Amino acid sequence: MNFSRRLLFTLVCAASFAAGPVVRAGLFAPSGVDNPGVPRVPPVIKAAPTGEILATPPEVVNGYVKLSFARLSAFKFTPPEYDPVATPDAPPPSVDAQIPEAIKKFDGQKAMVTGFMVPTHMEGAVVTEFMLVSSPSLCCYGIVPNMNEWVVVKMPAGAGVPPLMDVPVAVSGKLHVHGQFENGYLTGIYQLDAERVEPAKP
């Protein structure tokens, strides 16, 4: 596993344990143990990457482009190793150059992405930042996803949402598509500045 990915998921797990039992229960406990009444959602099986979905225009609802993880991950992406000189303003070309133009064009647009919440930052009982992944099994105790298989979601300053575990959520907001770095490590290529987070409609 790429070192930066391994580091990131170690930090995610540490954050979930620091966040408290509500988050830990949702991440690691089966339904009926610490989450009574919460139905267990079967893992989402991602189709093999294909260029066909990138050539098909996505649906637009109320001004928001609906982007599925099948689309966001429909290309090969190889995370670079640690780069001590990397900064958010000057990412290594090897990162953004791997993202196809069919995905880059959504940078700065209003988008809606549906997935599962993995909290990374909490303030009291609410989540202020989380990773959105395609399946509840994609965590440090499951399958580690590639960089194009998660979205970093940040809530507005002073805002937060309750942990919504094991249920799909729809996140709407402004999408950023580019390499994101912290202390020289690539932490993601997708970020959503959330305007609305709600349970996904059936």
Q: pLDDT category, 201, cuts 50, 70, 90?
A: confident
For 16, the enclosing helix (H) or strand (E) is helix 3-19
pLDDT given at position 101: 95
One-letter amino acid of 40: R
Q: Which of 125, 135, 124, 126 shows the shortest CA–CA distance to 27?
A: 135
State the Cα–Cα distance between residues 192 and 150, nearest whole angstrom.
Answer: 11
State the Cα–Cα distance between residues 24 and 197, nearest whole angstrom.
Answer: 20
Q: Is residue 14 part of a domain?
A: yes
Domain count, the chain: 1
* 128's tokens: 């202020």
pLDDT given at position 29: 30
* 163's tokens: 């942990």
Q: pLDDT category, 186, cuts 50, 70, 90?
A: confident
Angle of CA points 21, 22, 25, to nearest 5°: 75
> Which residues does 88 contact at the CB level (< 8 Å), separation at least 6?
180, 181
- Quick one: angle between helices 3-19 and 21-28, nearest 10? 130
pLDDT given at position 42: 42
The yes-or-no verdict on residue 85 having pLDDT over 70 is no
* 193's tokens: 């500045």
Domain residue limits at 75: 3-29+42-199
Q: Is residue 59 part of a domain?
A: yes
**Residue-averaged pLDDT of the chain:** 75
Lookup result for tokens 């990374």: 120
> Which residues does 123 contact at the CB level (< 8 Å), separation at least 6?
160
Q: Is residue 34 part of a domain?
A: no
Angle of CA points 93, 87, 117, to nearest 5°: 90
Q: Are 1 and 144 in contact (CB under 8 A)?
A: yes
SS3 string, 45-79, reads: CCCCCCCHHHHCCCCEECCEEECCHHHHCCCCCCC
Q: Is residue 124 part of a domain?
A: yes
State the Cα–Cα distance between residues 62 and 43, nearest whole angstrom.
Answer: 29
pLDDT given at position 63: 94
Q: Is residue 184 part of a domain?
A: yes
Q: Is residue 122 part of a domain?
A: yes
Q: Is residue 37 part of a domain?
A: no
Query: Tens digits of per-residue pLDDT, 124-157?
Result: 999 999 999 988 776 555 567 888 999 999 999 8
Domain harbouring 134, CATH code:
2.40.50.870
The bridge status of strand 60-61 relative to strand 64-66 is antiparallel
